[in-house]
Amino acid sequence: MGNPLFAVALSIMVFMLAGCTASWRAPVESRSSSPVVQPQRSAVKPLPRRPVGASEYRVRRGDTLYGIAWQNGVDYRDVARWNGIRAPYRIYAGQTLRLKPSSPPRQTKPPPRAAQATRPVTRSAPPKPQPKAKPAPAVAAPRTLAWRWPAEGRVSSSFKASDPLRKGIKISGRSGSRIAAAETGKVVYSGSGLIGYGRLIIIKHNDKYLSAYGHNRKILVKEGDQVTKGQTIAEMGKANNGDPLLHFEIRRDGKPVDPLRLLPRRS
């Protein structure tokens, strides 16, 4: 029999050689087994509207140039001029109006003029006399306004220029009592679109003066109507606190003035 130690050593060597020559495969990940991720669709957002600053106003349905100017404390003629709008001052929903004048362009100094060459003086024939221009037709002076009280009752709140909530006076009375036009003019606003005035009427008396009648229960005139002084234009309504009253304002060139200085004194 052979040497047993030699046989054991030979067996170990054979086993090791078999392990080295055995084929080994690395695991392979199949692409078909990986999950398919669907891309998410981004939500389509509408384009933002053009921001409107304090110096601009975007016209809404039912607005009038007079109402916009009144609400912002500016003269309607200035708003028309800043936006190139002519009488009868039509505006449209979605239109953006400037409420302040645009800044004037910077003025640059003109280039220095080149020295002009001296020319010989020549005598010319005396000019022929021009025919006298015809005098321009006389323009009638604007009618002096003579205000009257728009409602019966006591003054429960007076005008105060420094208080934005006291741009006019409040006349306490009886709900449903008549409201009269304080002077002859044209109704340029009739509605409830101005915040803080309730049902409101604005009357244009001339190029300078407007009057307003707020918190009416019922309006009896419409925009474009010509009204005479003393004509009934509305019925007295109630303020937010429930008190029956009329809010009355007079504005000159777009600025509130004290109505008590223009209205006749009561006996």
Gap between the Cα atoms of 150 and 157, Å rounded: 15
CATH top class, domain 56-98: alpha beta
Closest CA to 244 of 178, 192, 167: 178
> Each residue of 42-73: pLDDT tens digit?
444 443 333 444 589 999 888 889 889 988 88
The predicted-structure confidence for 95-143, as pLDDT tens digits, reads as follows 899 998 887 656 656 666 655 555 655 566 666 777 776 666 655 566 7
Alpha carbons 144 and 105: distance in angstroms, whole number:
40
Q: What pLDDT does residue 37 have? A: 42
Give the integer Cα–Cα distance in Å for 250 and 254.
9
Please list, residue by residue across 63-77, b when 16 or more beta carbons sit within 10 angstroms of its beta carbon and e when fewer do: bbbbbbbbbeebbbb
Indicate the domain borders of the chain.
56-98, 154-261
CATH superfamily of 154-261: Glucose Permease (Domain IIA) (2.70.70.10)
Q: What is the pLDDT of residues 193-227, one digit of tens each?
A: 898 899 999 999 999 999 999 999 999 999 999 99
**CA–CA gap between residue 213 and residue 199 (Å, rounded):** 8
Among 88, 61, 62, 86, which residue's Cα sits nearest to residue 204?
A: 88
Mean pLDDT of the chain: 79
> Which amino acid does the sequence have at 95?
Q
User: What's the rounded Cα separation, in Å, for the pair 1 and 110?
Assistant: 128
- Answer whether 94's CB lies under 8 Å from 62's CB: no
Segment 236-267, tens digit of pLDDT: 999 988 999 999 999 999 999 999 999 999 86
Mean pLDDT of 156-169: 93
Tell me, rounded to whole angstroms, the distance of Cα 37 from its chain centroid.
49
Phi, psi at 221, each rounded to 5°: -130, 165
SS3 content of the chain, % helix, strand, coil (to 5): 15, 20, 65
The reported pTM is 0.65
Task: Kindly tell me if the per-residue pLDDT of 189 is higher than 90.
Answer: yes
d(CA 161, CA 159): 7
Residue with tokens 């309730």: 198
Residue pair 31/175 in contact by the 8 Å Cβ criterion: no
DSSP secondary structure, 181-224, as one string: -SSSEEEEEEES-STTSSSEEEEE-SSSEEEEEESEEEE---TT
